Amino acid sequence: MKIIRRIFEYAYLLIALVLFEGVYATWNEDRNNAYMLLAFAFAAIGMYVFKKIMRNRASK
């Protein structure tokens, strides 16, 4: 179960990486869409940090 939680934790980083690539690809074409993807990317990083902190607290 701990391995699955850690996999999902790193999946948030992978999602953020894909979203940052989407921001890079659409920045000059559709700025509003790029801002939305950027917000979701930062939310994914925030979820990664939150999950990591909560996992560390639960293991103590």
Question: Which is higher by pLDDT, 11 or 59?
Answer: 11
Cβ–Cβ under 8 Å, residues 26 and 37: yes
Specify whether the CB–CB gap between 51 and 22 falls below 8 A: no
For residue 1, pLDDT beyond 90: no
Q: Which domain holds residue 20?
A: 2-59
Band of residue 59 on the pLDDT scale cut at 50, 70, 90: confident
* Number of domains forming the structure of the chain: 1
DSSP state of 55: H
